[in-house]
Amino acid sequence: MEKKTRILNLKSHAKINLFLDVIGKRKDNFHQIRTIFSEIDLSDKLSFFLTEKTDIKILASTDFLETKENLIYKVAFFIKNKYKVKKGVEIYLEKNIPISAGLGGGSSNAATTIMALSELWELDLSDDEKNEISKKFGSDINFFLVGGTALGEGRGEEITPLKDIFMENIFLVNPGFPVSSREAYELAEISNYENNNWKLFLETFDVTYCYNSLQQGIMQKFPEIKEIIDYLENHGATKAMLSGSGATVIGFFPDFVTAQKSADYYSKKNYWNYITKTKRRTR
């Protein structure tokens, strides 16, 4: 058996969007957005084993995307070739964050891979280098290099760290079908004015100012999303809204007991659900 000379065990956290406004369409066909990201304590676990072989091997706890099509592999392959790394890596993924759910699981895995391989392969990548790599593979990855709470602008890749926001009794529920980011943005209606409630939210931390301009289009195509939002708001949530591009819905509850009642209800319907809290920045 090949000797593994070094191991890194890391958590790869999910995110929610506390605010997301689609401001306009860019010349590169991406959308101009403004968003407030917040890391939460829901996480995947990634283990990285340095090997003397030259290949990249990925194993996952659940049926996952074909190895060469997932972001972990793409990022690792890119870094290995760009920096002419001679050694290889085995990566084990314990998947807890739902896929294509608006929680940033794939982007978080990619950012964790960049940080891990910088250390494991002794590349000592600068923040600028890590950010340049991130931009090549997705708009949310740059946020996960920073973590905590942050403002995202441009395509979402222009990150400004904000003071951490502590919120608990955040209920997440997913109806079990994926929504692609591309589809969500194609359904979005771009307003003629910018929603400035993000400033009010940062001043007050009042969740009633939270907003997602992707929500209306997604609800029209997937009525089940609206049913979940209505249910949560009728059963104690101060506010309920779509997370990112969905299909996960966030319910902000005043206490754990009330949140648990919705968890019990959706568990009986066999919907994935989780009660979480925001996570402070650690890097």
pLDDT tens profile 11-46: 999 999 999 999 877 666 667 789 999 999 999 999
Task: Please name which of 185, 188, 211 lies closest in space to residue 198, comparing C-alpha atoms.
Answer: 211
Q: Is CATH 3.30.230.10 the right assignment for the domain spanning 6-162?
A: yes
Residue-range domain boundaries for the chain: 6-162, 170-276
The strand pairing partners of 56, in sequence order, are 89
Measured CA to CA, the distance from residue 116 to residue 25 in angstroms comes to: 34
Task: Please name which of 133, 132, 156 lies closest in space to residue 143, comparing C-alpha atoms.
Answer: 156
- Among 21, 44, 130, 140, the active-site one is 140
What pLDDT does residue 70 have? 86
Task: Pull the structure tokens for residue 89.
Answer: 């890596």
Architecture field, domain 170-276: 2-Layer Sandwich (3.30)
pLDDT surpasses 70 at 130? yes
Q: Is the fold of 6-162 the same as that of 170-276?
A: no
Q: Which residue has the tokens 């929680």?
A: 103
Q: Please confirm, yes or no, whether 3 is among the known catalytic residues.
A: no
Measured CA to CA, the distance from residue 174 to residue 75 in angstroms comes to: 27
- Among 15, 80, 130, 279, the active-site one is 15
Q: Please confirm, yes or no, whether 264 is among the known catalytic residues.
A: no
What are 80-89's pLDDT values in tens digits? 999 999 999 9
What percent of the chain is modeled with pLDDT above 90?
Answer: 76
Contact, 142 vs 132, CB < 8 A? no
C-alpha R_g of the chain: 19
